[in-house]
Structure formats: structure tokens, C-alpha cells
């Protein structure tokens, strides 16, 4: 599968100089979407996974499909204030300022094995915050899976420094 051929690139979005990688075109292509989910699941066949955690928002789509294929639960990581019950949170640095992500306090349990899924890894800040959230409750992140890696932004290296296995299906140069 040539993933680059089914991912739309939108120049100068959301700001000048950014090449936005739009995976909604991949999601709309049944064969590409199925192949994506299969390739994200395959490395974990035979591995004990208790939950799949998806990062807001496109990560929800992927993580839900991966959780379905693995026959395990799905957990959303959301921006602060979006979850309706008691949460735990993790704040992380952005280029200018900070942001916070949350999960429900009972979303994952101590000792569970978790697979983290999102559409794209750039700097790795949000993914690292999600990992720290999961580990706060004593769960184990056994892998981090993405469709797209932007290697120039060094997110993969950031997660690998945390000792995490990182899988991506395609790389794009630039931001």
C-alpha cells in the first residue's frame, strides 16, 4: 500500500509553512483504511493488550478500529475539560505555552498493557503526555503506533528515549 497516495497534503494549514497531512482521505478509502488498521494490529498479534488508547481526535478513529480488531477496550485521551467524569491530567509544553490532556481516572488499571495510537507523530509532546498519564495509574505502554511520522521533528526519538516501541506506516519530510 502506498500510503502517501491516499493521504492529502494541504499546504499552509493551519498556518503558513505547515504541510498538513490529512488522513481523512485515507479513512474514506475502504481498502486503505483496512490495510492501515491491519498493519497497526499485526505487530501485536499474540501480545497481551488490555486497552487501546487513542489521542484526540483522529486517533480516536484509528484506536477504536484497532481495539475492535484486538477485541479489547478503547480509552480516549482528551483535551482538558472534555471528559464528563473524574479525570487525571498531564500538562506538557508546546512551542508557545502549555496544554493538558486527560483520561478518566478509572480508564486503565494498574498492570494493564496498553497500546497508544494516533494518526501522526510530530514532536511527540502529546504522545509523551499520554504515556505519562497511562503510567501514572501503573499501566504499561507496550507500544505507540502512528500512520505518519514526521522524522525532522524527532517525536519518534523522544518516545524511544522513554523506552517505547514506536511504529509508523509512512514518513513525510517537513513539518
Which active-site residues does the annotation give?
58, 95
| Upper half-sphere CA count for residue 44 (Cβ side, 13 Å) | 29
Residues in contact with 52: Cβ distance below 8 Å, sequence separation at least 6, in sequence order = 63, 64, 66, 67, 70, 72, 73, 74, 75, 114, 115, 117
| Three-class secondary structure of residue 76 per DSSP | strand
8 A C-beta contact, residue 66 and residue 40: yes
Amino acid at each position: 500500500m502506498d500510503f502517501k497516495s491516499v493521504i492529502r497534503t494541504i499546504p499552509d494549514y493551519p498556518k503558513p509553512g505547515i504541510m498538513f497531512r490529512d488522513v481523512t482521505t485515507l479513512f474514506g478509502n475502504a481498502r486503505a483504511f483496512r490495510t492501515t488498521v491491519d498493519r497497526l494490529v499485526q505487530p501485536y498479534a499474540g501480545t497481551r493488550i488490555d486497552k487501546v488508547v487513542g489521542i484526540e481526535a483522529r486517533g480516536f478513529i484509528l484506536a477504536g478500529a484497532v481495539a475492535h480488531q484486538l477485541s479489547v477496550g478503547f480509552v480516549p485521551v482528551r483535551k482538558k475539560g472534555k471528559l464528563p467524569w473524574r479525570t487525571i491530567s498531564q500538562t506538557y509544553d508546546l512551542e508557545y505555552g502549555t496544554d493538558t490532556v486527560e483520561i478518566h481516572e478509572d480508564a486503565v488499571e494498574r498492570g494493564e498493557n496498553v497500546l497508544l495510537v494516533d494518526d501522526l507523530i510530530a514532536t511527540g509532546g502529546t504522545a509523551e503526555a499520554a504515556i505519562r498519564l497511562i503510567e501514572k495509574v501503573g499501566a504499561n505502554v507496550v507500544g505507540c503506533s502512528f500512520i505518519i511520522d514526521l522524522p525532522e521533528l524527532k517525536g519518534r526519538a523522544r518516545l524511544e528515549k522513554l523506552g517505547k516501541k514506536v511504529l509508523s506506516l509512512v514518513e513525510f519530510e517537513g513539518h
